Amino acid sequence: MNRSEHLHEEDLGDALTRAQQAHVDRCPDCAHRRSVILAVQEAVRALPRTAEPPAAALALLDDPAAARRHTWWRRHKRHVATGGAGALALAAALLLVLRPGRASPMKEALAEEIALDHLHYEHKTEAVEISGSPAQIDNYFTRTLKRNPRLAPLEATTIVGGKRCRIGGEWSVLVWLERAGRWLSLFSMPQDAVARRGCVREAGVNVCGIRDPSGGSRVLAGDLPDAEMLRLLDESME
């Protein structure tokens, strides 16, 4: 799910509409952020309004980037500022929890397994089981794994080929790509292994994942910037 499809912080702290509640029920990221916001709001209301605020909390809360990112902070800054040291410390903790990219998009063990698999097969074209057009690759995996990766052509990217690969205990599609001289490993996995859209660094490899709308997960491993990796993942399903 794209970050833009998530609910904003200002919506998560209030009574939800029926549509918003339905979204939270199926979105672990929004459910987690809502629980944190509600807990901090309740704790701030219960705090005594005494003592000097800690310098570290003030520094974080005065961070312009944090203020731009979080509407919750912009809406509640005046109330938190009068809540004393504890309120500021709690609000600082809230921003740390909500700041983008802090939560890993997938379990560390899985990201590490994918990164090591990518490094193991890097440039080993002899391991290719199937090569050809996206349609030919789709047909091969549909026949052998009962999973169609629906691989779309990628601009300025060469499809090297693919093979069956066991990742996270499940047989998955693995397709190798080359872009700008970089070797990339694209995994189409049957399990819902990606908690949110995003990237993580493991074993020196950038591992980026998104949920597949038709079920399962799609993960790309390689050495390109986050934005480019996520764009390629989106493009691979168009």
DSSP 130: B
- For residues 114 and 205, membership in a common domain is answered with yes
- Burial degree of 91 (CB within 10 A; 0-12, 13-18, 19+): buried
Residue-wise pLDDT for 145-159, tens only, equals: 999 999 998 889 999
The better pLDDT of the pair 134, 50 is held by 134
Instruction: Report how far residue 10's alpha carbon sits from residue 70's, in angstroms, rounded to the nearest whole number.
Output: 8
Domains identified in the chain, total number: 2
Q: Which long-range contacts (CB under 8 A, 24 or more apart) does 134-140 make?
A: 134/159, 137/161, 137/162, 137/175
What are the CA-CA distances from residue 8 to residues 37, 65, 218, 226 (Å)? 11, 16, 25, 22
Residue-wise pLDDT for 87-143, tens only, equals: 545 555 555 444 444 467 899 999 999 999 999 999 999 999 999 999 999 999 999
pLDDT at 59 over 60: no
Token reading at 215 = 């079920």
Among 66, 98, 130, which residue terminates a domain? 98
The better pLDDT of the pair 200, 78 is held by 200
Among 40, 65, 98, which residue terminates a domain? 98
- For residues 143 and 66, membership in a common domain is answered with no
Mean pLDDT, rounded, for 175-182: 94
Provide the domain limits for residue 145. Answer: 108-236
Query: Can you give the pLDDT at residue 90?
Result: 53
Task: Kindly report the average pLDDT of the chain as a whole number.
Answer: 79
Among 98, 131, 163, which residue terminates a domain? 98
* 5-9, 39-43, 143-147 — most confident range: 143-147
- For residues 155 and 217, membership in a common domain is answered with yes
- For residues 91 and 113, membership in a common domain is answered with no
Mean pLDDT, rounded, for 11-21: 79
Query: Can you give the pLDDT at residue 214?
Result: 83
Query: Can you give the pLDDT at residue 2?
Result: 42
Neighbours of 203 (CB within 10 A): 14
- For residues 32 and 114, membership in a common domain is answered with no
Band (pLDDT 50/70/90 cuts) for residue 65 is very low
Query: Can you give the pLDDT at residue 7?
Result: 73
Instruction: Report how far residue 115's alpha carbon sits from residue 95's, in angstroms, rounded to the nearest whole number.
Output: 30
